[in-house]
Chains A and B, each alone.
Chain A
């Protein structure tokens, strides 16, 4: 068993790494594990992997609340700056910059024995991830996490949806009955630059065959293509929503039995996800029911 004052063998420490990564150890064990981690790159890597998995469990994909940023910004403290000095360097943090920015192949001058009072954060081997390697890693990470909707991280890359007030949008969506729409949809789907967002039901409903594809073209035209979307009872309508800047914005009413529908998008107001809810006819200002289908815009 683990008792304070003892150091852990590799095997003892390794057994605790899962619980450590989930903050589920008692404080005395935390100290012992951290002492081991300082010496063991393999266990550090395992903790990093557990942290990444835990992070995925936590991620709801929600965007950062904008009003919370205002409060953070209001609490930021910084050292006094001299007039005209734009960037005030924190000398000890140049080590950090070196660690993060050092060009590939540059000898590691900062993490070795020359470094004054090292914060013991660098790998014991002295190995520093070169910039190109760290960037490769970053890309891989981004690619992976995008799949589970780090919506915020991909905003810069996604197309947007025009923010529109509900009242202005009612009745403005084009239906498939309109001439030319089918061929426009066909052309959009054949265009390689068109982004497709698949909206599907959640959980067990996922396999019921219902789905809605949203096709976002680079020119700003967007199309909604429903599949097996059940007809709603009289007095009900489907309503399309886009999540823009963390808010669910109504993009229009689709009627009780939607066909292929056209709408317009604005790259300057990007939507990170789409959802369709069933609402009373006339629509609502905010969704009042669980989405029938939903989907996240990925790159």
Chain B
């Protein structure tokens, strides 16, 4: 039996593939907070964010083979799945109306969330600083696409910029962000293929 506390993420996934429930619990403990926070950030609403969080871990339980360590870390994999699912939700027809009302609701329910705030204080500071350093024309498309769930074509309309320009700014912006984070000692995972 593996020692869950010291097991690598890869070992956890192998144990999950063997229906070892505590391994899934450990994966949830390690990454559930980030998954939930991302879903919450994109969906701006707790019930669907919780549903997506559950789906992401149930998917990992049913299909651990979809995680390919050569394509990045487990956290990155889970977050990419979370983002994809969240975006599907907000792009769905049923939610279109809700989406229109999102801003109003967001304002109405914007409360003080101390747990997030604590981390936002320090942890995310480097990320915030790096984001703030990006030129607006790169930062905005990234925020609108990632947190707003918009396609780059929608972003182009919103920012009144050519589509080709927007897509290349997203790409360049992400690359710059990575370099800027590295300068601050935040090394995103190295993926050497």
Contact = CB atoms under 8 A, between A and B. Distances in A.
B191 interface: yes
Contact of A18 (B24, B172, B186): B172
A293 B127 contact: no
B36 to A, nearest CB: 6
A76 B145 contact: no
A92 B62 CA distance: 12
Contacts of B191: 45, 48-49, 52, 137
A286 B76 CA distance: 32
A82 B177 CA distance: 52
A68 interface: yes
A23 B124 contact: no
A145 B75 contact: yes
A26 B177 contact: no
A55 B33 CA distance: 12
Contacts of A144: 186-189
B28 A54 contact: no
A202 B178 contact: no
B19 A78 contact: yes
Nearest to A286: B114
Interface string B9-27: 1110110011111001100
Interface residues of A, number: 106
A4 B170 CA distance: 22
B69 A100 contact: yes
Contacts of A198: 122
Contacts of B28: 64, 69, 72
A18 B174 contact: yes
A58 B17 contact: no
Interface string A235-261: 000000101001110000000000000
B95 interface: no
A200 interface: yes
A21 B114 contact: no
B34 A55 contact: yes
Given A15-B171, A18-B171, A61 B33 contact: yes
Interface string B52-79: 0110011001101111111111011101
B24 to A, nearest CB: 7
A147 B186 contact: yes
A271 B57 CA distance: 25
Contacts of A78: 19
B93 to A, nearest CB: 15
Nearest to A157: B5
Interface string B106-129: 000000101111111111111110
B54 A71 contact: yes
Given A22-B146, A24-B150, A73 B117 contact: no
A17 interface: yes
Interface stretch (A119-127, A187-195, A214-222, A223-231): A119-127
A76 B58 contact: yes
Contacts of B166: 19
A202 B189 contact: no
Interface of B: 5-6, 8-11, 13-14, 17-21, 24-25, 28-38, 41, 50, 53-54, 57-58, 61-62, 64-73, 75-77, 79-80, 83-84, 87, 112, 114-128, 131, 142, 145-147, 149-153, 155, 164, 166-168, 170-175, 177-178, 181, 185-193
Given A22-B170, A275-B121, 20 more contacts: A19-B170, A51-B72, A52-B72, A52-B191, A55-B79, A61-B37, A61-B118, A62-B34, A77-B62, A100-B10, A137-B190, A143-B187, A145-B75, A145-B188, A145-B189, A148-B126, A156-B6, A206-B125, A243-B118, A246-B115
8 contacts: A18-B172, A54-B174, A60-B41, A61-B119, A93-B18, A101-B10, A141-B190, A241-B114
The 7 closest A-B pairs by CB, nearest first: A64-B32, A18-B171, A61-B119, A149-B123, A144-B187, A294-B121, A24-B145
